[in-house]
Amino acid sequence: MKIVFASTPGQEDEIDDLIKYFYSGILPRYFSDGEIKEFQRLGVLHTKSSQDAYGTLRDAFYVMASLQTLISILESPKTSDQHRALFLKNADNLRYYGLLFPFGYDSFLPVQKRGDSFLSVFAPAANQLLV
């Protein structure tokens, strides 16, 4: 008999927050708004099943760690072969745990990067209007 613990609501909330950050903080640096809308339509970084649960406690931990690692790599100012290997391993982890992640390392090459001054409907606002 094996006892398995389900993912916690806190873990699922953290995964959802990481996915939202990936869409608002990472993807706008490399892709246009139209491409990001298409990613949303395709369900990129979402589970293939209709359930939003990430399985067991262990599975949710691996998904969180993989998302955090990918974000860290893509926000790094310099890239290396070690980053490529880590990226590929963590992208495979996301696919293994049922998240659609159709990107390769080359999808995020610095040549495509639009810099820090990018405008996107997906990026958070730089300031707020107070009335």
Please report whether residue 74 resides in a domain: yes
Percentage, residues of the chain above pLDDT 70: 75
Please report whether residue 75 resides in a domain: yes
The whole model's pTM is what? 0.79
CA–CA gap between residue 42 and residue 37 (Å, rounded): 9
Half-sphere exposure of 14 (CA within 13 A, CB side): 15
Please report whether residue 15 resides in a domain: yes
Cβ pair 13, 52 in contact under 8 A = no
Please report whether residue 123 resides in a domain: no
Of all helices (H) and strands (E), which one includes residue 113?
Answer: none
Please report whether residue 20 resides in a domain: yes
Q: What is the pLDDT of residues 30-61, one digit of tens each?
A: 898 999 999 999 999 987 654 555 678 889 99
Q: Which residue has the higher pLDDT, 1 or 103?
A: 103
**Which of 98, 99, 64, 69 shows the shortest CA–CA distance to 82?**
69
What is the number of structural domains in the chain? 1
**Which of 2, 8, 26 shows the shortest CA–CA distance to 64?**
8
Please report whether residue 116 resides in a domain: no
Please report whether residue 128 resides in a domain: no
**Domain enclosing residue 43, as ranges:** 9-109
